[in-house]
Structures are given as C-alpha cells and as structure tokens.
Structure 1
C-alpha cells in the first residue's frame, strides 16, 4: 500500500530549479505582505468596519493560509532532492484546497451585501447587521469544513497500490484519482455534482444580485450617482473574475 507520494518538479536542471524557487518565493512573500496590509488597514480604520470589508479580511486571511500550505513544500521540491510528501501532508493539502471553496461563499455574501446596499438602502441595518454576517461567516466556514472533510475522506478511502508519482508540484484530487487502483467513477460523479450544485448555485445568486444592482443603478438620474454606486461593486467583481485565473 502507498504510504507516501512523490511530487514532480518543472525541471531537473539545477539552474532552472533555483530560478523557479526564487520566483515562487517572491510571489509567496508578496502575497502575505499585501494581505497583511489590507487586514491592518481595514481593522484599524473604523470607517471600514462594514460587512464588505469584514469578508474582505476573511478572504485575505484565507488566502494567506491557502498559499502557505503548498508553496513551502513546492520550494523544497524545486530546490532540494527530496520530493517526498507523506500521506498526511498530501491529505492536508487536498483538504485546504477544497476548504478554499469558502471564498466563493464569501463572494456570494459580498454580492448580497452590495445588493442590499444599493437596492434596499433603508433596510440595510436590519438585513445586514453584525449578528447576521457573523452567522453567515460561521455557516459558510462550517459548510466548507464538511465539504472538504467529506471529499478528502472519500478520496483517501480508495486503494493506492500502483504508482505514487504525482505529475504536479502540489496535491489535487484529479491527479490523486489517477493513481488509484480502485473504481473512481463514484468519486468523479460526486466531485462533478458538488461543483455543479455549489459553484453553479453561487454563480446564479451572484449573477441575480448584480442584475438587480445594474438595473437599479441605471434608473438613477445622474451619472455621478452611477459612478458612486458602481465603485462599491467593482472590487468584488474583479475578485470574482480573478477566481478562475487563480484556480488554474
């Protein structure tokens, strides 16, 4: 039975491996610094203690945890001769990868927050009060933990008695299923169904929110009000559009 896995490098040439390590470390250092700056500013400035910036802080913290699980191990693989990752470490990477799906739930809540801000401003303090978005955060986190735990456990329930070489420098379910000697059809169906239900549902909710927002904004009498309303939505739209790119 397989008890450890071998991750792959981009190149076997030492000079290229050093270059890859430097580039990855630079990106890794820039990411926490930017996220820490955002968290610090939105925490110290009391004017930014709103639901939108509350969820933005959560996204920043999640991003730092997310990248810290994969990048240090990738640097070790690129630079040193050791490319072995234990079964526990492999499962931890997959769990965190799946748990990062809570970002999409946070973005959905942020879209709802923008909808209430623009379309129902008089009821905002009732609909999006402190207790509501705290409960939303806890519910999203709990759902993501259950989702990640289910799929991680379902994946490692399979038998692995063939190759233990993963043709990638990080751990992910599709690469993992290719190594199994068990029937993986049910796993693939579960993964596909989860993506359709969760990602598709979030996409529909976000799209509906912004359709209502754009419809309401276009009814405003002046272009200055258009710009002010759209400026509150642009950051969330940019982050939302960047998710497919960051996931590749």
Structure 2
C-alpha cells in the first residue's frame, strides 16, 4: 500500500506531458485524414477570410449584421486554429506528445473561443430581433458604438470563467496514465485522468457551461420567439419570406453549434464510448466551422452579389 502511494505521488509530481491518441486507432488512414483535414483547414481559412474581406470593402455590406458576421468569421478562424494545426502535426509525425502547459493553453483557448461564439451568436440574434421587431429604431439602437461594445463583450466576458475553469482542472492531481484518448485537450477526457472523485469538478463544469452555453441559448430562443411572432403578423407573403430568409442562416448555425456543444458539456457522466465522444467533438470543432461560411454565403444574396463583384474586379 505504501509503495502504491509513493508511485501515485511520483506520477503526480513528475507529470510534465500528455499523449494525445488522436486517430491512432486507425493508423492505415493517417495520410488520408491528414489530407482531408488540411483541405478543410485551408477551406475554412479562405472562406472566412473572403467573408471578412467583402464585408469590409463592399459599401452595401456596411451594416451591423455584416459587421457581426465578419467578427464571427474571424472568431471561426481563431477557433479552428487552436485544434486543427495541432491535429495535422500529430497525424504527420504520428506522435501526440503535448506538454502540460500546452495542453492547458489549448483547452483554455478552445473554451474561450467557443464561449465567445455562443455570446456572438446571441448578439447576432439580438440584431435580427431589433431589425425585424423594431425596424424604425434600428439605426439608433444598433449604432456603430453599440455594435463595437457588443462584440467586445462577446470576446472578453467569458475569459474569467474560462481561465478559472482551466486553472481549477489543471490544479487537480493526475496519476496513472497520461494518455488522452482524444485529438485535443478537452474537459471530459482530461477529467478522466485525475485522481479521486471528480463529482465537484463536474458540477463546476456544468455551472460554467450553463452560464456560457444555456443562458445565451435561452436568450436566442426568446429573441427568435418574438421574431417569428412579428413575422407571422406581416400581411405580405413576400415580406414574411424575406424576413425568414434573413434569419434562416443564423438559425441553422445556432442549432448545429449549440446541439453538439450541449451534448458534450451538459450531458450526464457519459456511458458512451470515447470514440463517439471524439466524433461529436470532431463535428463541432471541424465540420460546423466548415459549414458555417457555406451556409452564410449560399443563403445570402447580398454576400453572393458582393462576391460576384469582387470576382469581376479581379478578372478584369
């Protein structure tokens, strides 16, 4: 018993790195996965950069809605850059070693950018609410100063919660294995490596998740409840269709992002396999950021028109 205790203490004090297993369970597909994720990453960077560019240079897109969209696109670039490049390196080298501090930093930035997305999606819902439910006062309410303030709040207000959550988790004692069966440092797989009962820590994770995920989601639901109510009161079918079209892209993104984030951070202690957990995480860290610019561009006539004008200028 004494020797076992000494071994655990030794493991706790000498732990300087983790090993991310990633996709090592399918070694024959390493190069295929590397190619797929590289193409996905480049696509995300290019598509979101194009959205940022055209919303800045096209005068028709100098509105609060597109100001928020350009910030959302930049946030998406930051979000995927925390995970995908690291994943590509691990696939290329077939090594998943990551230092203790790097793992903590990765978790912190994933949570921070993910939380900022939740808040920015809420701001975008509020923007649509004001535009549809209070159109006469829209320019006054959503003035440039107010827009900058809302974006700033979205970027920084979750930072204290995220830093506190990360410090709290990585101050726990780790013993036994240092192998993380995941492709990035996320809360559920990290908690599995800690010693002792993690019930209190899981409750704290739920509390922070409720603050960062569920409260913004409820605000979005309330906003869209009022938006739909106002749209249904419009006498013109064309007006209703136009109003719905301006909200549909944002609503699709909200459902996709919040659906997977809720499953990951608000579910009870999972009985599902770790493979399923990785698949869900892959969905909201890689697939959804890939779909978001496509959803916003293909379903938005103004952006498609601005993109067409930009291409014409480049070709002439």
Instruction: Tell me, yes or no, whether TM beats 0.5.
Output: yes
Gap change, CA 1:71 and 1:224, over 3 Å in 2: same
In the alignment, structure 1 residue 192 sits paired with structure 2 residue 199:
no
Gap change, CA 1:158 and 1:182, over 3 Å in 2: farther
Q: Which residue of 2 aligns with 1:96?
A: 109
Match for residue 80 of structure 1 among 84, 93, 99:
93
Q: CA deviation at 1:159?
A: 1.2
Structure 1 vs Structure 2 CA RMSD:
1.6
Give the secondary structure class of the aligned counterpart of 1:35.
helix
* Alignment partners' CA distance in 1, 2:137 and 2:51: 28
Q: Is the 8 A contact 1:4 1:86 kept in 2?
A: yes
Normalising by structure 2, report the TM-score: 0.75
Q: Which residue of 2 aligns with 1:138?
A: 152
Kindly provide the CA deviation profile for residues 207-228 of structure 1, in whole angstroms up to 9, marking residues without a partner as x. Answer: 1111111111111111011111
Q: CA deviation at 1:30?
A: 0.8
Q: Please, which runs of 5 or more residues in structure 2 have no aligned partner? A: 1-12, 261-282, 286-316
Give the secondary structure class of the aligned counterpart of 1:232.
helix
Q: CA deviation at 1:55?
A: 1.5
Moved more, 76-85 or 30-39: 76-85
- Poorly superposed stretches of 4+, deviation over 4 Å: none
Moved more, 36-45 or 135-144: 135-144
Q: Which residue of 2 aligns with 1:38?
A: 51
Kindly provide the CA deviation profile for residues 80-135 of structure 1, in whole angstroms up to 9, marking residues without a partner as x. Answer: 13220011210111011111211111111111111110111111122111111211
Q: Is the 8 A contact 1:98 1:147 kept in 2?
A: no
Normalising by structure 1, report the TM-score: 0.94
Q: Which residue of 2 aligns with 1:26?
A: 39
Give the secondary structure class of the aligned counterpart of 2:18.
strand
* Alignment partners' CA distance in 2, 1:4 and 1:144: 27
Q: Is the 8 A contact 1:155 1:187 kept in 2?
A: yes
- Count of residues in Structure 1 that have an aligned counterpart in Structure 2: 248
In the alignment, structure 1 residue 247 sits paired with structure 2 residue 281:
no
In the alignment, structure 1 residue 151 sits paired with structure 2 residue 188:
no
Q: Please, which runs of 5 or more residues in structure 1 have no aligned partner? A: none
Within 5 Å, which residues of 2 pair with 1:152-167?
152-167=166-181
* Alignment partners' CA distance in 2, 1:81 and 1:215: 54
Q: CA deviation at 1:14?
A: 5.1
Q: CA deviation at 1:12?
A: 5.7
Q: Is the 8 A contact 2:158 2:212 kept in 1?
A: no
Q: Is the 8 A contact 2:17 2:97 kept in 1?
A: yes
* Alignment partners' CA distance in 2, 1:174 and 1:219: 45
